[in-house]
Structure 1
């Protein structure tokens, strides 16, 4: 039974200490800051927020060391990532037309019952595309695992033994945000999903995204490109049933009921949860509850408090 607390951004108003108290973590906490990439070791503020009991797993640095020691692994991993990026580009092309169709149906001049029926069909087409994309990414990942066998390679085994030794002395895990794809790839390279499942987990921002069942990238008004929410990969699946949306108020147009409707219906039956500052979801196995001022994007286009 995986226990954990998923949080919104922690830079301005950190509540990781309160999350640790909620989970009753009494002891050292393994920190994952791989999403910060080269700044991974700059964890002084995080350590202070956790009562100076954090031990950084240094997953980004460990992966870089493994890649240096095993050039074949590095080349294969880079080829896999290139293929995933190419797949993502193709998925985006198809997704754009699907989302455009759904929005045009919403705006059509026709009886409400006809619009509702056709909108459901349009959203279902998006769901099927998302599911297809996740399956394709899983095939690429599994093909890499089958051919390269990263967990059997000495460079990875050496790092993994050290990681497991640290985890054995920890009472919980804290997964910070940053670059979501890098964070997910480092966790996956060392197969940490099942290794973390028995420890209480605190995760925020990109960290909250990667531990869910679907990593959903979203920004309604990005600096460049279309503002279409897209699925990256399937995630670690440690906390199913929710779609964590960090920085929701900054990245989503929550004043547009039509966009909220399509977004929420697309990912249903999972609950789309806006995780802004001081917001949280507390998991005790499959059951979860939300903190004060933590909101859900509903399929009727409304934003409602979960608490």
Structure 2
């Protein structure tokens, strides 16, 4: 028997964060079994964008009835019907892209200076002092950027209140009903900002209640307080970690880092040390295949994973 939709905002039950699902979705089924989920599962695959409906393998793996919340398709329908909201959303996104570009220009300069400073042959005490200045400058820039992005979103919400618009409200009701008939929610990875923006548009997690939430990769990232993009060997451009958005803050106190094994150069201890110090007091948690972090009501209940440390290493087997 499934639980009725509650009025509580955000998940109150267990939230399980996982790494990439590379060998099918057996791990998702394992977690559902462990949580004794007996009933339908709501799938949130908006990070797959136009491919969100291709959930057959995932549905088969969970071995339970599934319903796809179709956030990406719903957003396309909303913007087709509501020209005013479409134009306003495009303007908001244009503004946010400009802010991200300006932020990256400034961050790039600070990062270049930080790298140049670390190779100077000066007394260690002076070098450490200069390292800390670089970290402080990055922290200030990250904080300022998030505040500016927050202000853009706040103005948009105040002016447009999308959740109450006739184009959006019926979808919210349908999503609430689907979650109300589900016993758990599974959030796939994919394009992190596409996923985050659509969860916010539809308030898709507002009434999850005590239902378990299982999220992997980008799905895990959106549930934290800050979404940070990182890659030490990107396909193009400089390897410059960037704060791109405030997350949903369901899982506070950590920075989710999917696929650290494939994305982080563990030989660059200086860069890892600077990255960790920059994001403190949050813990930089590696979400590699097989990793698992369980939150309940904003607190870590269980953790089987690694983290990046201020010493510039990946500490395996870390527990909170």
Q: Considering the TM-score relative to the shorter chain, is it more than 0.5?
A: yes
Partner residue of 1:297?
A: 308
Aligned match of 1:57: 69
Secondary structure of the residue that 2:245 maps to in structure 1?
A: coil
User: Hey, what's the Cα distance between the residues in 2 that align with 1:218 and 1:183?
Assistant: 18
Aligned partner (choices 39, 48, 51) of residue 27 of structure 1: 39
1:12 matched residue in structure 2: 23
Measured after TM superposition, the shift of residue 2 of structure 1 is: 4.6
Give the TM-score normalised by the residue count of structure 1. 0.95
How far apart, CA to CA, are the structure 2 residues paired with 1:39 and 1:148? 28
Partner of 2:300: 287
Partner of 2:77, secondary structure, is helix
Name the CA distance, whole Å, in 2 between partners of 1:28 and 1:131: 40
Please tell me whether residue 211 in structure 1 is matched to residue 240 in structure 2: no
SS at match of 2:207: helix
Give the whole-Å Cα distance in 2 for the aligned partners of 1:235 and 1:147: 21
**Deviation (angstroms), 1:249:** 1.1
DSSP 3-state at the match of 2:87: helix
Partner in structure 2 of residue 192 of structure 1? 204
* Alignment deviations for residues 234-289 of structure 1 (CA, whole Å, 9 cap, x no partner): 11110011111111111111121111101111111111111111111122331243
How well do the aligned residues superpose, as a CA RMSD in angstroms?
1.5
- Cα deviations across residues 157-204 of structure 1 (Å, max 9, x unaligned)? 011110011111112211101111101110111123433464321111
Contact kept, 8 Å, 1:13 with 1:278, in 2: the verdict is no
User: Which of residues 171, 179, 184 is equivalent to 2:183?
Assistant: 171
Q: In the TM superposition, what is the alpha-carbon distance from 1:13 to its structure 2 partner?
A: 5.3
- Are 1:81 and 2:110 an aligned pair? no
Report how many aligned residue pairs link the two structures.
305
Q: 1:90/1:193 Cα in 2 relative to 1: closer, same or farther (>3 Å)?
A: farther
Does the CA-based 8 Å contact 1:249-1:276 persist in structure 2?
yes
Tell me, what secondary structure is at the counterpart of 2:310?
coil
- Aligned mate of 1:38, from 37, 50, 75: 50
Name structure 1 gaps, 5 residues minimum.
none
Candidates 260, 263, 270, aligned match of 1:251: 263
Instruction: Determine the C-alpha separation between the residues in 1 that align with 2:66 and 2:138.
Output: 41
Unaligned runs of 5+ in 2: 1-11
TM-fit CA distance, 1:36: 0.5
Task: State the distance in 1 between where 2:23 and 2:275 align.
Answer: 27
